[in-house]
Amino acid sequence: MATPYDFPSDLLAGQEELHQVRAELSALLKRLPWAVVPLDGFSDEGGWRKVERPASPGWTADEQAEVEKLRRREHELAVFVTTHRYWSQFTGPDGIDARSRLKHAHEAPESKDEDA
C-alpha cells in the first residue's frame, strides 16, 4: 500500500506551478524556429542518419525574453521544491519515495472500485 504524505500547501503549489511552467516552456520551444539566431537550412546525408533543417529566421527579442523568463522561473521553482524544509524529515529511500509522489500529487487518485 502506498504511504500517504501530508505535503505542505506551499510545496504542493510550487510543484504544480513547476509542472505548468515546464509545460508552457515545452510548448513554446516546439513553436519556435529551431535556431535562436537566423541560420541557413542544411542537409547532411553523410552521417549515420539523414539530418535536414529548413532555414531558421531566428527568434525575436520578445520570444527570447519569454524563453528566458520561463527558464528562470523553472529554475526558481525547482530550487524551491528540492530545498523545501519538508524534506529534512526524510532519509534514504523514504525521501526518494516522497519526492516521487509529490511529482504526481496533482493527479487524480485512482479508485479501486472503478468496475462497481
The residues, any chain, with a CB within 8 Å of residue 70's CB and separated by 6 or more, are 21, 24, 25, 28
Contact in structure between 88 and 77 (CB atoms under 8 Å): no
Residue in the structure block whose three cell numbers are 522561473 = 73
3-state secondary structure of 6: coil
pLDDT per residue as tens digits for the range 58-104: 999 999 999 999 999 999 999 999 999 999 999 999 999 999 999 99
pLDDT, tens digit (0-9, with 9 covering 90-100), for 9-66: 999 999 999 999 999 999 999 999 999 999 999 998 888 888 899 999 999 999 999 9
CA gap 86, 80 in Å, rounded: 11
| Residue 78 CB coordination number (10 Å) | 15
What beta strand segments (E) does the chain contain? 42-44, 51-53
Q: Phi/psi at 11 (nearest 5 deg)?
A: -70, -45
Identify the three-state secondary structure at position 43.
strand
